[in-house]
Structure 1
Amino acid sequence: MTLNYEQIWSVLPFPAFVVNVNNRLSHANAAAEQLAKSSIKQLRDKDVGYLFGQDSVIANTISQAGSKIGSLMHYNIEVGLNDTEPVTCNVHVGPLDSKSGDLLLLIQPTGVALKMSRSLTHMAAARSVVAMSAMLAHELRNPLAGISGAAQLLSMNADEADLELTDLIETETRRIGKLIDRVENFSDNRPVALAAVNIHDVLDRAVRAAQAGFASGIEFVVDYDPSLPDAAGDGDQLLQVFQNIIKNAAEAIEGTHGRIKLRTSYNSGVKFTVAGNRTQNVPLQIAITDNGVGIPEALMEEIFDPFVTSKSNGSGLGLPLVSKIIAGHGGLVECDSTFGRTTFTIRLPIWRHKTER
């Protein structure tokens, strides 16, 4: 069998660049073009520093590799380019041949598999919450109604001091009733009625609602891919997802320089296996980033679990509902957070007509 190296190069799953002796890009595979969001025609002859930063670890590693014989590896470094969120990667730089001085730069994102695993775990957790919530709502409503009714009867013959206590009982039962209403949202396990949804229209609705209310003093920045196809989903449910995430973002922002960025893109390489060994492709990517205080590291692996919250007055049900809705759409949701930058990334399938399925 004759090896077709061009074919091997094009199907490499990780971004790969060829850097010439002048530290300029000469070739890039399809994964590299996707990472840079630029074609090879646009990238060719660009300085490495243009893409990764003049003082970046990658630029320094290439300079070191060019001045010595052998390969260099850097593990778990943050790679960011073109104003995109940094991604933890392993980076390999090595000579292609001794005559030309060309170097191969291979970038292997290390966090992708971990994020996918966490997202799938959140999907399983969401299914568990559905079963639990139906039981809780049923079991709690009846005694709660009895407590509220008893408090009302007691208040009819109570003196002023006791009225304060009965009012407190009624206030707390109403609060618990609202919490049960939110828990009941999980018990609706009907399949999502999928239709073609323009994600940008839904995002714009969420932003307008936020700007008119809880996020009136925050700057919103949008970076939409205009060629993005329609998503397969329920517009109202997706609106609830985006509003929930934007509200969390607004609440995490302190001071007067709040900023929330919404970015959409297409990534055809993200797939995962669902029941029956069926492969689900989720190429539509929506990233919502804020410059708030971030999520405590101790909570990062649990934020999509019910009743987990860092807010003193939070119920811990908003993000589990986000996870449930996205799972019902056959999608994935994940989160990265450090102080000053938190990003929720949602991946959704595209809409296909019945003839295309």
Structure 2
Amino acid sequence: MKTEFIDIADAMATGVLMLTQSLDIQYMNASAEILFGSSIRRMEGKPYQRLLKEDILGWVLEKSVDTREVQSLRELHFTTSHDGIVIADIVVSPMLIDGELDAVLIELYRIDQQLRITQEETLLSQLQTTQSLVRGMAHEIKNPLGGLRGAAQLLETELPSPELREYTSIIISEADRLQVLVDRMSGSQSPTIQEDINIHEVLERVRKLVSVDIPSKVNIRFDYDPSIPEMRADKDKLIQIVLNMVVNALKAVGNEGEVIFKTRVIRRFLMNQKIHRLVLKLQIIDNGVGIPEEIKDKVFFPMVSGSADGTGLGLSIAQSLANAHDGLIEFQSTPGDTRFTLLLPIQAQE
């Protein structure tokens, strides 16, 4: 294989695979190695199905080989050990020498990253809109609520009978409960306290908090990357973020199912319109019922919940806290496989 071709292919952002006539892997460029999390040294001579198992791709390859024509495939979904589910447009080109098939070239143009950026922009726009709306509404509620509670306290001192004072006590307690609800809707206003933390210690704390009420047939499993370095974050707020994600997962599985705590590191990741050298990818995965289609677009809005007994504030607050750390929460959900992903930049320790 010519050195010039290798140099050009390795400089491309597009993943490139070259297959032999028998459709075994002959070459992978650097982008393909990163995409699949494997090197050409390990994959050379192996059938292409070791990387791409999708039947429809096999059909496209066979058609390209038979007709000696370029074939394309739009929005192929496939799974990699490195990035999970990937969406790409694929172009298959037969390489001919004197009219005879010499090799088959596969080009993979990732489109899921652009889709993710679009989704991220939508989530951030939703967050800013809801925060502004909710905080304005909370301010308007607090003033008359304080007056209502104060009037009930004054009335309580004037009432002669304990039976009548019981009613004012109810008014005061319900006003206090509403005050707590308004504060939760507004989100935490306390400053972020940065300290060096180990993310797995945070997850272990959350596990202990929820383990008391877990049904016997619900299993919590761990899939950790032990190489993740310590990071700068507010430990209490990070616990609150993860706890909200885990509680939702436990509600989704009910009395029987599995919840997985998974951690990975992503390198050179674009988030919030900035390239981060290292990003924590923390996933809470459950095999529960999934998120109803009708609320998927507004799952991070306040007062939106898929649970009959939920307040719909947990994910809204978690998203606000993640944003305060320059991070983001994303999700994918189908019945039997729901993944909430917390993405946080890993800042160097001071």
TM tier, smaller:
0.7 to 0.9
Question: What does residue 114 of structure 1 align with?
Answer: 115
Residue aligned with 1:92, SS: strand
TM-score, normalization by structure 1: 0.81
Question: What does residue 187 of structure 2 align with?
Answer: 185
Amino acid at match of 1:75: R
Question: What does residue 198 of structure 2 align with?
Answer: 198
Paired residues of 1:244 and 1:318 also in contact (CA < 8 A): yes
* Distance of 1:216 and 1:243 partners within structure 2: 20
Question: What does residue 94 of structure 1 align with?
Answer: 93
Residue aligned with 2:67, SS: coil
Amino acid at match of 1:262: F
Question: What does residue 249 of structure 2 align with?
Answer: 249
* Distance of 1:135 and 1:85 partners within structure 2: 40
Match 2:318 to one of 288, 298, 322:
322
* Distance of 2:259 and 2:109 partners within structure 1: 28
Deviating more after overlay: 337-346 vs 167-176: 167-176
Offset of 1:75 from its aligned partner? 1.5
Deviating more after overlay: 60-69 vs 335-344: 60-69
Question: What does residue 104 of structure 1 align with?
Answer: 105
Paired residues of 2:96 and 2:102 also in contact (CA < 8 A): yes
Q: Map of 1:234-313 to 2, 5 A cutoff?
A: 234-254=234-254, 256=256, 258-272=257-271, 274=273, 279-281=275-277, 283-313=279-309
Deviating more after overlay: 246-255 vs 58-67: 58-67
Question: What does residue 344 of structure 1 align with?
Answer: 340
Offset of 1:48 from its aligned partner? 2.4
Offset of 1:245 from its aligned partner? 0.9
Paired residues of 1:221 and 1:262 also in contact (CA < 8 A): yes
* Distance of 1:157 and 1:28 partners within structure 2: 87
Question: What does residue 71 of structure 2 align with?
Answer: 72
- Per-residue CA deviations over 1:63-109 (Å, capped at 9, x if unaligned) read 33333311222222321244974333322222244555422223333
TM-score, normalization by structure 2: 0.82
Classify 1:22/1:30 alpha carbon distance in 2 versus 1 (closer, same or farther; 3 Å): same
- Per-residue CA deviations over 1:33-60 (Å, capped at 9, x if unaligned) read 233222332222222223333x633333
Amino acid at match of 1:114: L
Offset of 1:125 from its aligned partner? 3.6
* Distance of 2:311 and 2:57 partners within structure 1: 43
Paired residues of 2:184 and 2:317 also in contact (CA < 8 A): no
Residue aligned with 1:80, SS: strand
User: Would you say 1:57 and 2:56 are equivalent positions?
Assistant: yes
Classify 1:297/1:91 alpha carbon distance in 2 versus 1 (closer, same or farther; 3 Å): farther
Q: Which has the larger radius of gyration?
A: 2
Q: Map of 1:165-176 to 2, 5 A cutoff?
A: 169=171, 172-176=174-178
Question: What does residue 143 of structure 1 align with?
Answer: 144
Offset of 1:165 from its aligned partner? 6.9
Deviating more after overlay: 192-201 vs 291-300: 192-201
How many correspondences in the alignment? Answer: 344
Paired residues of 1:211 and 1:218 also in contact (CA < 8 A): no
Structure 2 segments unaligned to the other structure (5+ residues): none
* Distance of 1:176 and 1:249 partners within structure 2: 27
Question: What does residue 10 of structure 2 align with?
Answer: 10
Classify 1:41/1:204 alpha carbon distance in 2 versus 1 (closer, same or farther; 3 Å): farther
Residue aligned with 1:330, SS: coil
Paired residues of 1:282 and 1:347 also in contact (CA < 8 A): no
Give the aligned CA root-mean-square deviation in angstroms.
3.3
* Distance of 2:323 and 2:279 partners within structure 1: 15
Residue aligned with 1:267, SS: strand
Q: Map of 1:19-34 to 2, 5 A cutoff?
A: 19-34=19-34
Deviating more after overlay: 83-92 vs 342-351: 83-92
The percentage of aligned residue pairs carrying the same residue is: 27
Structure with the bigger percentage of strand: 2
Deviating more after overlay: 331-340 vs 264-273: 264-273
Residue aligned with 1:351, SS: coil
